[in-house]
Amino acid sequence: MEHMRAMQLDRPGTPLVMRERERPEPGPGEVLVKVSACGVCRTDLHVVDGELPHPKHPIVPGHEIVGRVAAVGAGVKGFALGERVGVPWLGWTCGVCPYCRAGRENLCDRPLFTGYTRDGGYATHAIADERYCFPLPEGIGDAEAAPLLCAGLIGWRCYRFAGEGTALGLYGFGAAAHILAQVAASQGRQVYAFTRQGDTASQDFARRLGVRWAGSAEELPPEPLDAAIIFAPVGALVPAALRAVKKGGRVVCGGIHMSDIPSFPYAILWEEREIVSVANLTRTDANEFLALAPKVGLHITVKLYPLAEANAALDDLRAGRLQGAAVLEPGAA
């Protein structure tokens, strides 16, 4: 009997605990991935802190998985042993509900999510549906590729929802924004970065990545925005972003969880401003973005942690001590 190690959440609001488990065998249509890197995402915090409903317990978090195929189940044709793959948040869809049939699998009625309702990548091994695994571009290391699987993919979906305008605001300059700012700049957009008040380190980090302006989320940008994307899970940023966008502008809420949005005057929504949310991702999003990423020449900033220090990585993310993304390396000591 072969074993694996995993950082497991037994119940919400408690630290993850290292467990030794029997290594699972892939079922039909599944692959076993030997994990080389797994990004630490804000959604993992929402899972660990009990802010998302109906999780699987116990659960192994982590949905920005990079690894090599270690075994394949019956019927798997898309991946060979040893092939490098990425596994994202959306881990399985039914294929038969009205949303799936309409090509909107991100809204599937019966989805499974990696690291939330099926075990994820805070482990040495993980099982994944081959339909929701993706070949990764060459030239990007494992640790640097991991944040692409959520920060990159969800950021890309938000970016497409934001429209074609030139002036783009990013609220919350973490893992997703630091990737998306580079994509937007490469396409000729003018990027404005909004951070926590007094967070000059993140503002300086944003400027180094080529944004036109960086300041506090309480400030107005030097010119009205065509669109704004909110990555921070702070409802008060919605009216702040509405005040920053021009007539006809759009505010995109990119997180799976957000604190309550406070009441705001109708005047800041009027003149055809819009508020929209982005949910999950589709395989089309993944294929588009993973094809684009190597062409942009992204500089992915990561801080590495061994698997056993997953709680420290989560604490650093919660406290805002990170620039870029935290990434676990299950093979590290």
What is the identity of the amino acid at 333? A
Mean pLDDT within 198-222: 96
| 180 plus 300 within the same structural domain | no
| 182 plus 223 within the same structural domain | yes
Across the chain, mean pLDDT equals 96
SS3 216: strand
Going through 44-110 in order, the beta strands assigned E by DSSP cover 65-72, 84-87, 90-92
Rounded-to-integer distance, Cα 116 and Cα 92, Å:
12
Number of domains into which the chain is organized: 2
> 246: number of CA atoms within 13 Å, CB side?
9
| 234 plus 294 within the same structural domain | no
pTM for the structure as a whole? 0.94
Q: Which of 131, 137, 125 is nearest to 111 (CA)?
A: 131
Q: Which of 261, 277, 293 is the last residue of a domain?
A: 277
Pairing mode, if any, of strands 84-87 and 65-72? Answer: antiparallel
Pairing mode, if any, of strands 17-22 and 3-8? Answer: antiparallel
What was the pLDDT predicted at 332? 66
| 202 plus 268 within the same structural domain | yes
| 122 plus 94 within the same structural domain | yes
Task: Evaluate whether 196 touches 217 at the Cβ level (below 8 Å).
Answer: yes
CATH at residue 121: 3.90.180.10
Structural domain that includes position 318:
3-149+280-329
Task: Evaluate whether 302 touches 327 at the Cβ level (below 8 Å).
Answer: yes
Pairing mode, if any, of strands 30-40 and 65-72? Answer: antiparallel
| 183 plus 63 within the same structural domain | no
Rounded-to-integer distance, Cα 127 and Cα 245, Å:
43
Mean pLDDT within 50-67: 96
Mean pLDDT within 18-31: 96
What was the pLDDT predicted at 331? 81
| 28 plus 138 within the same structural domain | yes
| 136 plus 169 within the same structural domain | no
- The string of pLDDT tens digits covering residues 75-121 is 999 999 999 999 999 999 999 999 999 999 999 999 999 999 999 99
What was the pLDDT predicted at 309? 98
- The string of pLDDT tens digits covering residues 140-176 is 999 999 999 999 999 999 999 999 999 999 999 999 9
| 168 plus 125 within the same structural domain | no
| 73 plus 165 within the same structural domain | no
| 143 plus 291 within the same structural domain | yes
Q: Which of 255, 277, 299 is the last residue of a domain?
A: 277
SS3 156: helix
CATH at residue 218: 3.40.50.720
| 27 plus 58 within the same structural domain | yes
Q: Which residues of 194-226 are buried (b: 16+ CB within 10 A; e: fewer)?
A: bbeeebeebbebbeebebbbbbebeeebeeebb
How many other C-beta atoms are found inside a 10 Å radius of the C-beta of residue 75?
A: 10
